[in-house]
Amino acid sequence: MKVLIRLFRIFFRLGLFTFGGGFAMIPLIEEEIIKKNSMLKEDEFFDIIAFTQSLPGSLAVNMSIFIGYHISGIPGALTSSIAVVIPPFTVILLIASFFVRFLEHPIAQQAFKGIRIAVLVLILLALKRLAQKVHWNILKVVLVAGIIVAISNFGIHPGFVILLSAALGYFVFQPMEEKEG
């Protein structure tokens, strides 16, 4: 029980201070879990980071589940993942309750016109970072182009795209790249 309370307090803090998604949480986890409390080893943490990136869902929540499970089994996983979600949930609820009125102000509208452009650039840079992680070949370029056309012109469900691409990766890309060495 003591461990769970400690886990809750640590992950509540992590949830409160992680701005901008899962990767921002990594240095905080290193400080709180590995250095201060030595509940986890550095190399175990790196394995968890690598693995959770290939899972569906939010990186921050999945990392919390894996670390919580590592420290204290299923109760640990539940404790840390609930604790990490409570602060952002509360903050967004507060923002959502007051945000609409705030947006009607003309200065806020001008500011958000600028901010929308920044979001476009942020997504573009995320795309660039993701693209650098892919071992590109002509088929994968065709796949990306095909997805854009399939969704914007034919309204294909994006979940179908995910399933089809996972199958392509396993049955086509993997054997192909093994042959190339």
Comparison of 5 and 95: residue with beta carbon closer to another protein: 95
Q: How many angstroms separate the CA atoms of 83 and 85, rounded?
A: 6
Comparison of 31 and 57: residue with beta carbon closer to another protein: 57
Min CB(37)–another protein separation in Å:
19
Comparison of 6 and 58: residue with beta carbon closer to another protein: 58
Residues contacting 154, CB < 8 A, separation 6+: none
Min CB(108)–another protein separation in Å:
9
Structural contact between residues 151 and 158, judged by C-beta atoms closer than 8 angstroms: yes
Min CB(118)–another protein separation in Å:
3
Comparison of 1 and 118: residue with beta carbon closer to another protein: 118
Q: How many angstroms separate the CA atoms of 62 and 50, rounded?
A: 11
Count of C-beta atoms within a 10 Å radius of residue 101: 9
Min CB(42)–another protein separation in Å:
16
Q: How many angstroms separate the CA atoms of 65 and 83, rounded?
A: 10
Structural contact between residues 40 and 70, judged by C-beta atoms closer than 8 angstroms: yes
Comparison of 5 and 134: residue with beta carbon closer to another protein: 134
Q: How many angstroms separate the CA atoms of 81 and 12, rounded?
A: 9
Min CB(178)–another protein separation in Å:
9
